[in-house]
Amino acid sequence: MRLLLQSSRRFFYRHPGQLILALVGIAAGVAVVTGVALMREVLIDALDSATESLSGAESIRIVDPRGPMDETLFIELAMTRGAPPLLPVLSSRLRHGNRMLELLALDPLSLEQGGPVRLTGSATGPLFGQANAALVSQRTLERLDLEVGATLSVRHFGEQLDLEIVNVVAGGRELDDRIIMDLAAAQHLTGRQGELSFIEAPVDARAWLAERLPEELRLIDADQRRESAASLTAGMRANLTAMSLLSLAVGLFVIYSVLAFLLVQRRRTIGMMRAVGVTEGQVRGLLASETLILAGLGALAGLALGTLMASGLLELVRQPVAELYRMVASAGVQPTPLLYVSVWILAVVMALASVFGVLREAQRIPPGQLARTVHEERSGASPIWRWLPVFLLVAGLGLILVTRSLPPVLVGLFIMLSGCALLAPVLGMHLLRMTAALTRSSLVGRAIKMLLSSRQRLAPAVSALSLALALSAGVGMMVLGFRATVDDWVARLINADTYLTVSQGQLDSSSMETLQDWPEVEMLSGSRQVRMDDGSMVVGYDLNPRAWEGFEWLDGDGLAARDRVESGQAVLVTEPMARRDGLSAGDTLELVTPSGTVEFEVAAVYRDYSTDRGMIAMIGSRFRELWNDDQRDSIGLYLGPGVDHEALEQRVSETFPAGHLTTRESVREQTLGVFDRTFRISWALAILVGMIAAIALISALLALGLERAREYATLRALGLSRAGLAGVVLTQTTSLAAIAVLLAVPFSLLIHATLSLAVQPRAFGWSLALSFPLQPLAVLIPLALLIGALAGAYPAWKIAHRDPAPLLRAS
Amino acid sequence: MTEAVLNIRNLQRRFGSAHDVQVLADLNLDLVEGERVAVMGASGSGKTTLLHLAAGMDTPDAGEVLIGGRSLSALVEPERTRFRARYIGLVFQDFNLIDSLTVRENIELPLWLNGMTAQSGRIDTLAEELGIAALLQRLPEKLSGGEKQRVAIARALVHRPALLLADEPTGSLDQTTAEGVLRLFDRVTRQHNVTLLMVTHNDEAAALCDRILHLRHGRLSDS
């Protein structure tokens, strides 16, 4: 074994390019998996744990499902005899440039009374000093590129607030992008006087609180909060995991390619070793050891690279998470030894599994085999193996079609992609054979014929490239198709001319009455949302006839539904809600409201992409009655013809000093902006997968060049010029890229259809109209051909400039 | 008067990192049209180097190689390659057939490289003469060593080269097969009036030639 290992060490020493490509391939795949795994952890555990970090111990939280709670409740509870230490908190979203921050306003007096949240006296002291004093963690200070004493300008509902960073608070990544302020100061600054977001209490106060809390309030412990945060991002995490595993699979193609080539190079050596008594097991052991060393080292590099990459990837998802789920995630990842060990073992085991075929091939090298053949054996594959790709494709599709939950669909997708990966080289070689037949006597024909005899060696590269291209194009088509659907939905639903919101104070029925009297306003609509414990929303709508036209009905009769909803007897549910709870028109649902549990008929199901947690819509009057809540989050203004918008804005600012008007176009732009930011991570991962596939292709081509060195030398000896030989090699590489592209087209359509029609509905609950935007293919096809040509450029140059004479000397 | 096909003048070639191993030293050789010369010598004496220099696949440190009166040293690399494709045929010890091309396609290669595919009828003629007509559609991997060498001979002659260079053409064959291949080689080269420079260890192969030269200490001698 020592001698065999010595020979492989020397091989890699002589071919550093092969070694580097193998290490880079596996490292890149593992890096993506590591990065995504670290990011996943943030999206589960570190979404909602800032106050927990401050308390240093688990606490329970008192929340009002209707929204912010009245501060008097805290005062009443705190004044009750035997009251546990309580901490009132006001939480609000702030924007600093493009960065989303969370304001956590605490009551320093409660802190000093030994409440559940502990800030040191030296840290909280300065909070009393001035109205705009704020604390941040050291990490946040560095992320904001500020120093203690600096002013931090943020926007709160469009209004600028200038905060002064007075001190640094001790804390981990849970405090990333959190601004800690004095409660009273924050309430004043943000115009939310008398409001609290929640109250923190010690865990052992649960029984005391349960006895005294008003019925409409909820007690939520840390586990429930974590579970809720995790379920919010479940669809997003599933999507990321699928992409990361695919990138690892593409990285494994590189390992396979290198090890398969290594075997070809040492066929003679292994044959001789077998002749002198090396056993099959030792040969297998050698290759397994090489795989272990390569994959192990590559995976280690991948872990390091992935940790570096994770922060970048995290930045891509933090903003969408904040926008979609109203949660500010930690800005940093926290690697754990368990995660590293798990990913490392996964990578090594998968690498060993991927070279199983190579090990079998090595085992079959007969003792004493001296011929250093470059052609491959014609394997008489059994019908089972021959039909395996088709079987996998059909089985994957079948699983996707018959199951209704996400995990089996993802399994089905992987089985289907495995089928595509196995089918790609088979179909690709057929296509090449046809091309060779058509271009028989030309340089192209001869180059392709030479390529055909290396089909087993090239199969992984063809699979990797076609799959990566298909994935990139498929994801791209899904995203663009989805975007067009959302754009269409927004244009339909958002049909008021402008929307009024306020950053301070509130909009209510009297605001609606005031606006209704304005001559510029023809009609109004209003909405008020509350979040339920499970993350779903209940919305109370004040709808006019035009606003009703904005609904797209997916189930139920729209006209009849409108009558029943307006009567207050029925509700509408969004598609994600209907899917998740198995609801359809005519069903009944029970809704827990502050006025008790109420049963409603589901009048209809409508299309909605605003939240994947689902939404129940009812008429505003019924909502106000049940929730005892007269507020409106926004009021839609339907204007008459020829309204002067500047004059209207002026009038709005006079009547509602903290009011803002947002036009329909702005709402559309903002919605699509959120959409684009949400899918940036998908684009980034698709690009990473494409880059790893390019490494796989270059690796295979370099291996091919080394393997066929003698044939190329013969052609040079027979009189093929350097340019001609470079042309042969470039034709071969470009042909490979071309067939990968050709195969990627149907595969990408399949992936697009699966993602749009199966994964999206099951992950997020919404269906998409299937369209086929071809822009991704229009970009990727020339790009892939260019990559093919560029990937072949170096091998072509190297092969063409190699001196043929030494290669032609008899072995 | 017979024309000179190959003239080698004061050829020198050194190898080694310090360029200190002299393989060929002031070597001279002339071959006229139709002449067949065998060069014998010990392993490492420089026989293959001589052949590679004659084919323009290697460049000498000094001296020159003239084929048909044209100096290879005066040609730049692409011209040398084109010259070799047109005027030289090569037979290797290890056959060096392209495994991914059929026998016919292998033989056709020099015609394609010289833009002479119109003369592909010559493939069948040569295949008949060399007894490989039935093998034309096969891939080299399906052939025996003797068959492979016959295909290599056909490939070397198909474009009617001015000079045939053969490097141990029977070196990879067993004795019986080697004898058969040599008989064919002898017949076909005579039939086509080929000018041949062959390097070999094999006395029987050398005996087919008009002249036998020995390469020792970088120089050729008659005995």
Whether the CB of B155 is below 8 Å from some CB of chain A: the reply is: yes
Q: What are phi and psi of A376, to 5 degrees?
A: -105, 150
C-alpha distance from B105 to closest chain A C-alpha (Å): 9
Q: Give residue A321's pLDDT.
A: 72
Q: How much is the average pLDDT of A314-321?
A: 76
Angle between helices A337-354 and A280-325 (to 10 degrees): 130
Asked if residue A178 has pLDDT above 70, the reply is yes
Q: What are phi and psi of A637, to 5 degrees?
A: -110, 120
The H or E element spanning position A54 is helix A50-55
Asked if residue A504 has pLDDT above 70, the reply is no
Cα A572 to Cα A142: distance, rounded to the nearest angstrom = 47
C-alpha distance from A22 to closest chain B C-alpha (Å): 27
Tokens representing A521 are 């306003």
Query: For an interface test with B, which of A429, A446, A450, A718 has the most B Cβ atoms less than 10 Å from its Cβ?
Result: A718
Asked if residue A378 has pLDDT above 50, the reply is no
pLDDT digit string, tens, across residues B26-66: 999 999 999 999 999 998 899 999 999 999 988 899 999 99
Whether the CB of A806 is below 8 Å from some CB of chain B: the reply is: no
Q: Give residue B102's pLDDT.
A: 87
CA angle centred on A419, ends A414 and A422, rounded to 5°: 125
pLDDT digit string, tens, across residues B204-220: 889 989 999 999 999 99
ipTM score: 0.82
Q: Give residue A371's pLDDT.
A: 40
Q: How much is the average pLDDT of A580-586?
A: 89
Q: Of A327, A146, A52, A88, which is closest to residue A136 (Cα–Cα)?
A: A146
Rounded to the nearest 5 percent, the helix, strand and coil shares of chain A are: 60, 15, 25
Q: How much is the average pLDDT of A311-335?
A: 74
Q: Give residue B156's pLDDT.
A: 93
Q: Give residue B27's pLDDT.
A: 94
Whether the CB of A718 is below 8 Å from some CB of chain B: the reply is: yes
Q: How much is the average pLDDT of A181-186?
A: 87
Q: Give residue A51's pLDDT.
A: 53
Higher pLDDT, B45 or A765: B45
Residue type present at position B26: D
CA angle centred on A414, ends A413 and A417, rounded to 5°: 85
Q: How confident is the model at residue A588 (pLDDT cuts 50, 70, 90)?
A: very high
DSSP state for residue A728 in the 8-state scheme: H
Q: How confident is the model at residue A447 (pLDDT cuts 50, 70, 90)?
A: confident
Own/partner long-range contacts of B138-141 (Cβ < 8 Å, ≥24 apart): B138/B102, B138/B103, B139/A375, B139/B99, B139/B100, B139/B101, B139/B102, B139/B103, B140/B95, B140/B97, B140/B98, B140/B99, B140/B101, B140/B103, B140/B106, B141/A373, B141/A375, B141/B99
Handedness of CA A591, A596, A597, A598 (dihedral sign): negative
Whether the CB of B147 is below 8 Å from some CB of chain A: the reply is: no
SS3 B77: helix
Whether the CB of B115 is below 8 Å from some CB of chain A: the reply is: no
Say how many residues make up chain A. 811
Q: Give residue A586's pLDDT.
A: 92
How much is the mean pLDDT over chain A? 80
Cα B198 to Cα B31: distance, rounded to the nearest angstrom = 12
DSSP state for residue A632 in the 8-state scheme: B
Strand partners, A553: A606
Q: How confident is the model at residue A124 (pLDDT cuts 50, 70, 90)?
A: low
**Domain B4-221, classified CATH 3.40.50.300, yes or no:** yes
Q: Give residue A115's pLDDT.
A: 44
Cα A200 to Cα A89: distance, rounded to the nearest angstrom = 7
pLDDT digit string, tens, across residues A636-656: 999 988 888 888 888 988 898
Contact A811 B94 (CB under 8 A): yes
Report the percentage of chain A scoring pLDDT > 70: 83
Q: Where are the alpha helices (DSSP H) in A108-182?
A: 108-112, 121-124, 138-143
Q: What count of Cα atoms within 13 Å lies in the side-chain half-sphere of residue A645?
A: 11
Query: For an interface test with A, which of B91, B96, B116 has the most A Cβ atoms less than 10 Å from its Cβ?
Result: B96
SS3 A503: coil
Higher pLDDT, A676 or A745: A745
Rounded to a whole number, what is the distance in angstroms from the first to the last CA of chain B? Answer: 27
Q: Give residue A372's pLDDT.
A: 39
Q: Give residue A397's pLDDT.
A: 92
Q: How much is the average pLDDT of A151-157?
A: 84
A537 dihedral zone (left: phi>0; alpha: psi -120 to 50; beta): beta
Asked if residue A363 has pLDDT above 80, the reply is no
pLDDT digit string, tens, across residues A224-282: 766 666 666 666 677 677 667 666 766 666 667 666 666 666 666 677 666 666 677 77
Please report, for chain B, the start and end positions of each structural domain, with discontinuous segments joined by +.
4-221
Q: Give residue A659's pLDDT.
A: 82
Q: How confident is the model at residue A617 (pLDDT cuts 50, 70, 90)?
A: very high
Contact B90 A715 (CB under 8 A): no
SS3 B135: helix
Strand partners, A521: A639
Q: How confident is the model at residue A759 (pLDDT cuts 50, 70, 90)?
A: confident
Q: How confident is the model at residue A772 (pLDDT cuts 50, 70, 90)?
A: confident
pLDDT digit string, tens, across residues B188-204: 888 888 999 999 988 88
Say how many residues make up chain B. 223
Place of tokens 């996400």: A406
Q: How much is the average pLDDT of A510-533?
A: 89
Cα A416 to Cα A414: distance, rounded to the nearest angstrom = 5
Cα B36 to Cα A157: distance, rounded to the nearest angstrom = 97
Q: Of A624, A631, A593, which is closest to residue A215 (Cα–Cα)?
A: A593
Please report, for chain A, the start and end positions of each structural domain, with discontinuous segments joined by +.
1-47+235-373, 50-231, 393-407+423-490+666-811, 505-657
Cα A200 to Cα A438: distance, rounded to the nearest angstrom = 76
